Amino acid sequence: MPKLLAGLVTLSIALALVFAPPLFARGEKAKLATLSSEISQLQKKMRVTRTEHDKSASRLRAIELQSAETRRNVLSLDKEIRLLGKELSKLYGQQKELDEQRHRQARQVAQELSAAYRLGREEPLKVLLNMENPEEIGRTLKYYEHIVKARSKILEDYQNTIRKLDEVEQSLLGKQNALADKKVQLLAIQQILNDEKKQRSALLQGSNRQIKSEEGLLTKLSLERQQLESIIQALQKHVQNLDIPDNKPFSQRRGKLPWPVKGRVGHSFGSARGSHLKWHGWLLNARDASPVKSIHHGRVVFSDYLRGQGLLVIVDHGDNYLSLYAHNQVLLKETGDWVHPGEVIAKVGNTGGLERSALYFEIRRKGKAVDPKRWLKPRA
């Protein structure tokens, strides 16, 4: 009895460990919630509007966030349209197959009706009256019973095919109407997006006119750099406590990491950015809406809008390494999401005040920017 009780206790503990929410997961969520709260408070402090340029930056943020939402709707509609297209293709295939089947069965039905007509309704009776052997009569009745059943089955199959064909054609009509509606919605949303682009362009032109000197530009860039550094410092304080399980640590991937996007280096690490500033990462010129991919396994610790960086994703790779992806047109991952090497996390854009589409990319170790060239694979 004690052994049985001990076994039951062990089983209960094992089941509790399997089915109860892991303490690790709950702890990590709590840490991420604390991090998100602190970052949110920090961003609110940053979004002060003391000058006309601050007001312009605030309006730019609002327009670009709205455009990002519009683009998300476009992506969603594109996905729905692709799915409807696949469903329509499948239904067209079913329709063709059923139509061919209906034609074959129609010919078979016509042949059976013709045979029945030639034999005549009374033909079995005539045959039976001319028979004298009871066993032969029994076999003949079975034969005619088989014929009747076979003909009934042929007619039943034909009717079922017609019914299925009708159902498929009704589904086709419904899907075609749904597809037409989605395309109309997509055109309407694309028009909204075009209007938002015009608003953004006009706002940028006005904002650029306000910066009348190199000193003004440097002041703007310095403020944006300070805000990014404040976010990095806040992240660095918290991500050290987050566990990033990985059998291939980031530190062992030097010179082996994939590029985050297909594009050419427009500005390299350490190159001049005005008289007194330097680039802390790479500005990669890339095609608009190109997929932005995570360079390594990790967890998203920032996915939001930041002045000067636009829509920004920061991934924690563990061991005090972070990667940053800025100026995206839309973000596809949220804070707390796990990402794998090569997984799409955003789409290339020009948010944050860029005139052309590009990805700004950084790698950080212990909060300090390092040259991506040392970490990414050499390009052939």
The answer on 224 and 165 residing in a single domain is no
The answer on 146 and 224 residing in a single domain is no
Helix ranges, 20-133 (H): 23-46, 52-119, 123-129
The answer on 251 and 328 residing in a single domain is yes
pLDDT, position 1 = 45
pLDDT, position 364 = 95
- Cα-based distances in Å from 326 to 55, 149, 231, 308, 359: 21, 73, 13, 9, 6
What CATH number corresponds to the domain at position 334?
A: 2.70.70.10
Query: Which one, of 71, 34, 30, lies nearest residue 310 by Cα?
Result: 71
Q: Which neighbouring-strand residues pair with 310?
A: 306
Q: What is the mean pLDDT of residues 28-53?
A: 68
pLDDT tens per residue, range 355-368? 899 999 999 999 99
pLDDT tens per residue, range 68-80? 888 888 888 888 8
C-alpha 229: how far from its chain's center? 30
Expressed as residue numbers, the domain containing 237 is: 214-380
Query: Of the residues 171, 186, 205, which one is the last residue of a structural domain?
Result: 205
Name the one residue in this structure whose structure tokens are 């309704």. Answer: 121
Q: Distance (Å, rounded) from C-alpha 316 to C-alpha 187?
A: 38
The answer on 274 and 247 residing in a single domain is yes
The answer on 219 and 193 residing in a single domain is no
Q: Distance (Å, rounded) from C-alpha 8 to C-alpha 16?
A: 12
| pTM over 0.75, yes/no | no
**Structural domains of the chain, count:** 2
Q: What is the dihedral of CA 222, 226, 232, 238, to 10 degrees?
A: 180
Q: Is the pLDDT of residue 117 over 70?
A: no
Give the length of the chain: 380
| Main-chain dihedrals φ then ψ at residue 298, nearest 5 degrees | 175, -165
